[in-house]
């Protein structure tokens, strides 16, 4: 996803090719690229596990409300957090997957006003692959017993 920031994403109505920074799509692509690093950061850094769940929930709620159609999903995420249906890794994974899914919906809509170039298509397909990975992470986190407990309290796990 980071490489896609510097490649020409779209051709505008005047025939100019623009990369993500010139067209303004960098504001959508950079958070998706950072979200793609969360599973790795979750495994590597115990410090990240302290603040990432709430930040990913906030980002998911903002992106779902921005989509307007996703407001029920945002409500479900907040209710799930308040009622403690999911916390920690599960919350991070589900929130991240909804953020990237909103990118998958918004990106082609934003590209309607220009012609999408091959790098734009690669960006969209990379987001689809990232969503699949995040959904698998969500499933793994939700089916793992004691997924949201600290590492030191899990039997057989090492940090």
Question: In Å, how far are 36, 51, 79, 98 from 72, measured between CA atoms?
Answer: 24, 24, 10, 12
Q: What is the pLDDT of residues 18-68, one digit of tens each?
A: 888 888 888 888 888 888 888 888 888 888 788 888 888 888 888 777 777
Residue 149 carries which DSSP code? S
Domain count, the chain: 1
Which pTM was predicted?
0.74
Q: What is the pLDDT of residues 99-118, one digit of tens each?
A: 888 888 888 888 887 888 88
Statement: residue 159 has pLDDT above 90: no
Residue 157 lies in a domain: no
Statement: residue 142 has pLDDT above 80: no
Residue 159 lies in a domain: no
User: Please, which residues have CB within 8 angstroms of residue 20's CB and are 6 or more apart in sequence?
Assistant: 4, 5, 6, 9, 26, 29, 123
Full residue range of the structural domain in which residue 102 is found:
3-144
């Amino acid at each position: 996803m980071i490489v896609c920031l510097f490649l020409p994403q779209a051709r505008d109505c005047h025939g100019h090719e623009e990369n993500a920074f010139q067209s303004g799509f960098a504001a959508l692509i950079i958070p998706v690229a950072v979200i793609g690093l969360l599973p790795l950061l979750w495994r590597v850094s115990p410090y990240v596990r302290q603040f990432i769940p709430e930040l990913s929930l906030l980002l998911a709620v903002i992106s779902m409300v921005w989509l307007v159609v996703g407001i029920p999903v945002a409500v479900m995420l907040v209710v799930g957090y308040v009622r403690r249906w999911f916390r920690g890794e599960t919350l991070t994974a589900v929130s991240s997957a909804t953020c990237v899914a909103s990118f998958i919906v918004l990106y082609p809509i934003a590209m309607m006003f220009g012609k999408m170039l091959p790098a734009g298509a690669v960006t969209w397909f990379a987001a689809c692959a990232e969503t699949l990975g995040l959904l698998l992470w969500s499933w793994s986190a939700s089916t793992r017993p004691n997924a949201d407990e600290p590492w030191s309290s899990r039997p057989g796990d090492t940090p």
